[in-house]
Amino acid sequence: MRRICLTLPTNRACAATISAVGEEADHAAEHFGVEVHLLILDSSGEREFAEHARVVAGERRAPHVVVHHLDEAQQRDFLRRVIRCSGVAKPDLALDLMLPDGVSYGACTNRAFLIAAALGCRSVHRRDSDSTYQVLDGETVFPVHHELASLGRTAAEAAAGVSETVLGPEHAHKPVAMVGSSFVGELSVDIGEIAELDGDVYHDVVGLWAPGHWSDEQRRELVEESFKGAGTDPFVRDHSVLTHVDPMRVDMCNISFLDEVYERVPLPPATDTIGSDYFLMHLVHDSTLPGVLHNRNIVNFYTAERRTDAGFMAYQLRFVKFFLSMLYFNFIYERMAEAGPALLDDRHRVRPAAVAELAGRSALLDRAENVHRLDVLNRSYRKLGGRYAEFAEVLAAGGRRLLEEARADIEDFALLTGDWESLVRASRATGLYPTAGSTDVQPPDGSTGLQPSDGSTGLRPSAGSIGLCPSDR
């Protein structure tokens, strides 16, 4: 039976979302004959984690749905065993990049990728804790329906199951490597207030993520379509397109990848940086791998924490670091687009060495463009006044540090990409949970371990390989 990983990373209270994603796991198992590993990577506080555990323990899942609810201690234990097995040159740094102290959208998804490999899954399907599903005529609209209909099939095979195809025949034999959609509801980035306060400032700020050499017209077009997802129109009927999926049309709350993508190249592990988890969308598109774009959009909403002063400051910092990261990513994206199918090997798999080489080259770029970005942000935020002006003071004081962090982040990405295949192989060899007799931490009894497909609460071995690292045997 094919195994898939449906994952929900979270660092906040989201009991309702856990229940909803659990229902999507049931839908996948019942309608597609797959074994679903529902992976909840939980970095929330003790109170929130306990509530999440009660939800997991209290809900009976469908047959062939296995629940893994892991706190950071369990995630760290898994990573330490994998890193020890992998033999990477800088094990302490590898652990920091996989489980950093700060918020990292890329790192949390990278942990899901390695755990999926340990469990023997063929695909990863990611959702977010600040989102929910649409409903039509009393039925929940689950994105996994489109994901499992196409992911992993050749484009020729997948064509029969989509509404339309816009791929050339030369791509018919390639696998569908990504299936995704977008969101409706609030902007994916919490900047609506900036647009309300000053439209010109909004244009100046949002336009900063364009490459420095773009024309004013290109920049205006980018600003117009940025962060809006699929708008606000509700779902009324299915529509799917087999195509090279434009990264601007999908979101990480509503995405799935084939293992032949995420087991080859990781996501950038930058901390406190929004957008760091979008890299593989660009890689799939630029390498000419087929994908499916569907319209089962997820509903995005903002949590109350973002409305607090502390939440505002933290989010604006992530927003600024996103702009600074684009100096490097714009360079990489442009060259990946130029390379096209040369990014793939003769088995249509992405070539990690090509990605690592581009990331390393980007780290050598002159930072003048980023200095300009900081100047525009500082000036724009002061013009907005209020807490934006207060944030501008923080930005002015920490500007040099942020420039250094942005460069270090891309260097870390190049390093992790070089180590990634070793980490994936080690994940397959060690498995998610320690073997019997190991001195490592065992999964606790109850809801935070494995929930067998018969609905009981006992533990059973990991579905993937649970042998020791080959070097330890």
Rounded mean pLDDT, 436-446:
43
Three state DSSP letters for 1-18: CCEEEEEEEECCCCHHHH
Q: What is the C-alpha to C-alpha distance for residues 181 and 298, in angstroms, rounded to an integer?
A: 8
pLDDT range class, residue 125, cuts 50, 70, 90: very high
Length of the chain: 473
Q: How many Cβ atoms are within 10 Å of 461's Cβ, its own excluded?
A: 13
| Residue 434 to residues 81, 200, 344, Cα–Cα distance (Å) | 9, 56, 35
Rounded mean pLDDT, 440-459:
37
Higher pLDDT, 37 or 446: 37
Rounded mean pLDDT, 232-252:
95
pLDDT at site 232? 84
pLDDT range class, residue 436, cuts 50, 70, 90: low
Structure tokens at 407: 């460069």
pLDDT at site 186? 72
Q: How wide is the angle at C-alpha 3 spanned by C-alphas 266 and 341, nearest 5°? A: 40
Rounded mean pLDDT, 408-415:
98
pLDDT at site 442? 42
pLDDT at site 458? 28
Asked if 96 and 415 count as a contact pair (C-beta separation under 8 A), the reply is no
pLDDT at site 453? 38
The region of weakest confidence among 88-92, 304-308, 384-388, 417-421 is 304-308
**The amino acid at 107:** A
Residues in CB range of 395: below 8 A, 6 or more apart:
320, 374, 377, 378, 381, 402
308 has a pLDDT exceeding 90? no
Percent of residues, the chain, with pLDDT higher than 70: 90
Higher pLDDT, 91 or 224: 91
Higher pLDDT, 227 or 172: 172
Over the Cα atoms of the chain, what is R_g? 22
**The amino acid at 312:** F
Structure tokens at 282: 């660009």
**Dihedrals phi, psi of 57, to nearest 5 degrees:** -70, -30
Q: What is the C-alpha to C-alpha distance for residues 395 and 96, in angstroms, rounded to an integer?
A: 25
Q: pLDDT tens digits, residue range 88-104?
A: 999 999 999 999 999 99
- DSSP result, 61-93: PPTTEEEEEE-HHHHHHHHHHHHHHHT-S-HHH
Asked if 110 and 265 count as a contact pair (C-beta separation under 8 A), the reply is no
Q: What is the C-alpha to C-alpha distance for residues 108 and 432, in angstroms, rounded to an integer?
A: 15
Q: Tokens 């090279």 — which residue?
A: 244
Considering only CA atoms, which of 43, 37, 50 is closest in space to residue 126? 37
**For the chain, which domains are there?**
3-461 (3.90.550.10)
Rounded mean pLDDT, 153-182:
97
Query: pTM of this prediction?
Result: 0.93
Rounded mean pLDDT, 421-445:
74
454 has a pLDDT exceeding 60? no
Rounded mean pLDDT, 309-314:
84
Considering only CA atoms, which of 284, 205, 221, 222 is closest in space to residue 252? 284
pLDDT range class, residue 472, cuts 50, 70, 90: very low
Percent of residues, the chain, with pLDDT higher than 90: 82
SS3 content of the chain, % helix, strand, coil (to 5): 50, 15, 35
pLDDT range class, residue 146, cuts 50, 70, 90: very high
pLDDT range class, residue 305, cuts 50, 70, 90: low
| Residue 286 to residues 245, 246, 335, 344, Cα–Cα distance (Å) | 9, 9, 9, 10
3-state secondary structure (DSSP) of residue 441: coil
How many alpha carbons fall within 13 Å on the CB side of residue 243? 16
Rounded mean pLDDT, 256-280:
96
Rounded mean pLDDT, 466-470:
52
pLDDT at site 445? 39
The region of weakest confidence among 5-14, 182-191, 239-248, 275-284 is 182-191
Q: What is the C-alpha to C-alpha distance for residues 296 and 158, in angstroms, rounded to an integer?
A: 18
Q: pLDDT tens digits, residue range 400-409?
A: 999 999 999 9
Q: How many Cβ atoms are within 10 Å of 379's Cβ, its own excluded?
A: 12
Rounded mean pLDDT, 31-47:
97
Residues in CB range of 168: below 8 A, 6 or more apart:
none
- DSSP result, 219-238: HHHHHHHTT-TTTTPPP-S-
Higher pLDDT, 76 or 189: 76
Rounded mean pLDDT, 320-324:
96
435 has a pLDDT exceeding 90? no
Average per-residue pLDDT for the chain:
90
3-state secondary structure (DSSP) of residue 124: strand
**The amino acid at 214:** W
pLDDT at site 304? 59
pLDDT at site 468? 56
Q: pLDDT tens digits, residue range 326-357?
A: 999 999 999 999 999 999 999 999 999 999 99
